[in-house]
Every structure is written in structure tokens, then in C-alpha cells.
């Protein structure tokens, strides 16, 4: 039985759209007629069709993190309660308000009803479910612990979403504050200052150096401000295109690791994602080499990703995971020590989870500290710039008052 997306006319001639299940398109049309609907168009739900329908949407046929988190949590809860998998997928599709999730859930259910495993059915929608998700589900089915694995996946997806939301919220206010500060300064320099300066044009007097410099900056921005914006936009486009090349991207990512705070954040975030992914996969029964291969896909920094690939080669040759990762000197020492402890005690999956939690907490703390320092510093800089502008305007007025006296 497959899922079909249909468009039909009701008894009043109004067009209705929705999803329906049937063995063939013909049986789906027959079900619509039995409901009093006249079929216009009916198409089987598939990853290819989702991609074609979502050409202009982000990520093609993918579902976003919030939808994936809710889908995973609902499915884990229903499966743990003993509900059959096909009924659980039906319930998820009915409860979801997202049309994309409805299509995907019914498409997966159709694969399950046809006799495929859940992992095989998920593989039909690779853009909706990341490799980590599909590999973990496959391991859970093979080990007979699907409900437990789905629970861990739900916790992982929810934790990752919560981390992203915390970082976004922490950076939102500073970003708005920066935009407002730059806008105010630009408005003062390009609109307010020129009008005030006109008052001094009729006076044959030497202006203070601060005022002269402010006028020069104001004239430059008025004459070449548009050119600067065009150059900045052009530079951003060129940089984005160059980042598509592996060699240039590798140099940029390697340079990021050398910047004190940025490098620490990059190492912490990528290490946290990798160890969390590795812990879930290895704890689910996925072989360590396969888990490392899948884990590299969540690492965005190229030198760190290549270091993991080199470590996988050493592990394949019989080397310890901790020593193999430590050889690159790109991973935090505490993570390496925790992994070594897990290897020696036989609790590697547990130590990987501890390492991930440690790095995630460190990243959260570092981001909060940076934003806490950035806001007052920006306010002080903004106040200093405004003070200079005010002084540059008031100094000639003070000089005029002295001349009058």
C-alpha cells in the first residue's frame, strides 16, 4: 500500500487536496469517489516528488530540525507504548500540522506495509532523515531495541535543536544592537553632520581638527557610500564562491582554528557533535569504523574532518581511538582522556556521551560569556563614536562664542 497526494472536487465544485493510501492509483481514485469526491490529479508520495515540489524551499524535500524533533519524539513515544509501527506512523501523520511531515510519514508507512524495514523505508527519503538517523534506526532494528534507539534519537535531536536555539537567542540581541548602532552612526555622518556643517561655511574661520576630520569622513561616505556597499556585497559573493573550492575552504577553516576564541568555539562545537553522534551509533551496535565514517558528516570543519578520517585508518589498523584522535592535536585534551578512559573500562559509549555533554556545556558557557562582554563593549564604542561626533559639532560653536565675547 502506498501513499498518494490528491486533488479533487467535492459535491459543491470546490477543490480539495489531501493524502490518501491505496494499493494502486486506481484504488485511491475509487476511495475518493466513495467519499463523494471527483479526482482531478493523484500522485504517489516520493522523495523525488517532494524535491520537485520544493525547488524554491530550503533543503529541497527536507524537513527542518523542529519537524524532525517532533516526528522522532512522537514516533518514539508511540512505539515504546507498544503500538505497531504502521499505526504509529499513521498517528504521527495525523497529528502533524506540516504537510511535508504528513507526506514523509505516510511514504515511510507505505514502505513498512510493503514489508520493508523502517530503516529501508527511511532510506527512500534521504533528505528528510540524515545518515545518523537512518544508521541508528537500522542498528536498533537489528538489535531488537528500536524503541530504546528511537528514544535516544529523540533526545539527540531535541538536544541539538535546543543548543541551536540557545546560540541563536544569545546572538540575536547583539546582532540587532550592532545593526542599530551602525545605522545610527551612518545616519549621523551622512545626514545630520552635513546639515550642521553648512552653518560654518559662511564663517571665515579655521575649524578644529576634529571637525575637519568628521567633515572629511562625512563627505567620503556621501560620495562613495554606495560604492563601498557594492564592493562589500561583491566581496561577499566572491568569498562565498571561493568557499566552494576544497583548497580555499580548508585554508579558511584551518585559519579559524588558530584564532583564540573562534578556534576554541569551532573545536568545541565540532567535537561535541562528533562525540555525540559516535556515542549514539556505537552504543546502538554500529561498528566503530562505520560510526566514525557517519560521524564525519556532522563535522563542518575540514581539517577536523580529515583528522577523523586519518584516525579511522589508524583504528582499522588496530590503533586506539583516543591515541588516533590525539595525534592531530585538534581535539580538546579532556575529550581524548574521556575516550581513553572509556576504551580501558569498556564503557566507550558512556564516555563519549560525557565528552559530548562537556563540550556542549563549554560551548554554551563560552557563547554566553562572549555575548555578555560584547554587549557592554559595543555600547561603550557606540557612545564613544557619538561623543566624538557631538564634540566635533560643538567645538566650532564654542569657538564662535569666544569670538563674539
Percent of the chain with pLDDT over 70: 89
Q: What phi and psi values does residue 319 have, to the nearest 5 degrees?
A: -75, 160
Contact partners, residue 102, CB within 8 Å, separation at least 6: 19, 93, 96
pLDDT value at 60 more than 50: no
**Which helix or strand (DSSP H or E) is residue 16 part of?**
strand 15-22
Report how many helices (DSSP H) and strands (DSSP E) the chain contains, helices first: 17, 3
Least confident piece of the model among 16-25, 42-51, 374-383: 42-51
Q: How confident is the model at residue 405 (pLDDT cuts 50, 70, 90)?
A: very low
Question: Quick one: three-class SS letters along 276-295?
Answer: HHHHHHHHCCCCHHHHHHHH
| Contact assessment for residue 267 and residue 275, using Cβ atoms and an 8 Å cutoff | no
| Contact assessment for residue 200 and residue 393, using Cβ atoms and an 8 Å cutoff | no
Give whichever of 165-179, 195-209, 218-232 has the largest mean pLDDT: 218-232
**Predicted confidence (pLDDT) per residue in 276-308, tens digit:** 888 888 887 888 888 888 888 888 899 999 999
In this prediction, residue 402 carries a pLDDT of: 56
pTM (two decimals): 0.70
pLDDT value at 242 more than 50: yes
Least confident piece of the model among 62-76, 256-270, 292-306: 62-76
pLDDT value at 177 more than 90: no
In this prediction, residue 336 carries a pLDDT of: 92
pLDDT value at 2 more than 70: no
Q: List % helix, strand, coil for the chain (3-state, nearest 5).
A: 75, 5, 20
Amino acid at each position: 500500500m502506498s501513499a498518494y497526494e490528491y486533488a479533487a472536487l467535492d459535491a459543491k465544485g470546490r477543490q480539495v487536496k489531501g493524502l490518501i493510501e491505496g494499493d494502486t492509483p486506481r484504488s485511491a481514485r475509487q476511495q475518493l469517489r466513495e467519499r463523494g469526491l471527483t479526482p482531478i490529479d493523484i500522485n504517489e508520495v516520493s522523495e523525488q516528488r517532494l524535491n520537485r515540489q520544493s525547488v524554491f524551499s530550503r533543503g529541497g524535500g527536507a524537513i527542518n530540525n523542529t519537524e524532525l524533533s517532533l516526528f522522532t519524539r512522537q514516533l518514539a513515544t508511540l512505539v515504546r507504548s507498544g503500538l505497531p509501527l504502521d499505526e504509529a506512523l499513521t498517528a504521527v501523520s495525523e497529528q502533524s500540522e506540516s504537510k511535508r511531515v504528513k507526506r514523509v510519514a505516510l511514504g515511510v508507512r507505505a514502505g513498512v506495509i510493503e514489508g520493508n524495514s523502517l530503516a529501508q523505508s527511511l532510506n527512500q527519503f534521504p533528505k528528510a532523515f540524515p545518515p545518523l538517523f537512518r544508521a541508528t534506526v537500522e542498528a536498533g532494528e537489528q538489535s531488537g531495541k528500536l524503541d530504546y534507539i528511537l528514544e535516544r534519537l529523540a533526545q539527540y535531536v531535541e538536544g541539538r535543536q535546543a543548543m541551536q536555539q540557545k546560540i541563536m537567542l544569545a546572538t540575536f540581541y547583539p546582532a540587532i544592537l550592532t545593526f542599530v548602532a551602525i545605522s545610527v552612526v551612518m545616519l549621523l555622518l551622512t545626514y545630520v553632520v552635513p546639515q550642521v556643517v553648512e552653518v560654518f561655511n559662511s564663517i571665515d574661520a579655521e575649524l578644529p581638527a576634529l571637525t575637519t576630520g568628521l567633515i572629511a569622513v562625512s563627505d567620503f561616505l556621501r560620495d562613495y557610500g554606495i560604492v563601498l556597499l557594492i564592493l562589500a556585497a561583491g566581496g561577499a559573493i566572491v568569498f562565498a564562491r571561493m568557499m566552494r573550492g576544497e583548497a580555499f575552504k580548508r585554508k579558511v577553516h584551518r585559519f579559524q582554528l588558530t584564532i583564540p576564541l573562534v578556534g576554541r568555539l569551532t573545536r568545541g562545537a565540532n567535537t561535541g557533535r562528533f562525540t555525540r553522534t559516535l556515542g549514539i551509533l556505537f552504543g546502538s551496535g554500529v561498528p566503530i569504523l562505520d560510526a566514525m565514517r557517519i560521524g564525519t558528516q556532522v563535522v563542518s570543519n575540514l581539517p577536523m574532518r580529515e583528522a577523523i578520517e586519518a584516525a579511522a585508518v589508524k583504528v582499522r589498523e588496530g590503533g586506539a581511538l583516543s591515541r588516533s584522535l590525539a595525534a592531530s592535536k585538534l581535539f580538546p585534551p579532556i575529550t581524548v582522556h574521556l575516550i581513553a578512559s572509556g576504551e580501558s573500562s569498556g564503557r566507550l559509549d558512556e564516555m563519549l556521551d560525557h565528552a559530548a555533554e562537556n563540550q556542549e556545556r563549554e560551548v554554551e558557557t563560552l557563547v554566553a560569556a562572549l555575548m555578555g562582554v560584547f554587549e557592554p563593549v559595543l555600547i561603550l564604542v557606540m557612545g564613544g563614536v557619538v561623543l566624538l561626533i557631538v564634540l566635533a559639532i560643538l567645538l566650532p560653536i564654542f569657538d564662535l562664542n569666544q569670538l563674539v565675547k
